[in-house]
A = this chain, B = another copy of it.
Amino acid sequence: MSIQTPKNSEIPGYTYGAAGHSPVTLAELEELKASVMFGEKDAALLRRAGELLDGQVEKILDTWYGFVAGQPHLVAHFSRPGGEPIAEYLEAVRSRFGQWIRDTCTRPYDQEWLDYQNEIALRHTPEHKNETDQVGSTRVVPLRHLIALVVPITTTIRPFLAKREESAEKVEAMMEAWLKAVVLQVALWSRPYANEGRW
């Protein structure tokens, strides 16, 4: 984990390895991996992507935060209802978001990972939103925008992967692996949004 700065334990509210047990089974995870066509090759491509993205994480976050800040219907969920953005909230989430980029590229997708996926899901819903950072923002990130942000979270990563001297084919392969990883996670995060029996 040498590429992870700041140290995990120094990121406020980051509880990887200490989250509650996910109700999603490893067998369900395997099916989902098959649905997004995620295989060993993708895991290896993500590890390489992690090396390329490390050191660029702050710039990636600048891009994503710029995107969210520019859209009132998105920044609302980092704000007091009907009010102003909460600077401490944006800042605290930002550190965990940076760590998420590293986790997505380097962590094995095992039980511990599944458990933290569940925690991230809950942090977007009334179950845990606002709790970690003790803020009074909106109660839920709407499911439709959670799904929609797959696009900016994916397409904006391309220039960061392409910056170092990799072939166009390799960049393309890493992009696909990244897309699979993000869609896989959003599919997992949709669970606490779904009606009984529909997830």
Chain A contacts with B in 17-35, Cβ cutoff 8 A: 28, 31-32, 34-35
Contact in complex: B148, A150 (CB < 8 Å) = no
Q: Contacts of A31 on B, CB cut-off 8 Å? A: 71, 73, 145
A139-165 interface code vs B (CB 8 A; 1 in, 0 out) = 010111101111110110000000000
| A interface SS class | helix
Contact in complex: B195, A73 (CB < 8 Å) = no
| B-binding residues in A (CB < 8 A) | 28, 31-32, 34-37, 71, 73-74, 125-126, 140, 142-145, 147-152, 154-155, 168, 176, 179-180, 183-184, 186-188, 190-191, 193-195, 197-199
Q: Contacts of A142 on B, CB cut-off 8 Å? A: 198-199
| Least Cβ–Cβ distance between A162 and chain B, in angstroms | 11
Find A149's partner among B35, B143, B149, B194 (CB 8 Å cutoff). B35
Q: How far is the CA of A184 from the CA of B148 in the complex (A)?
A: 6
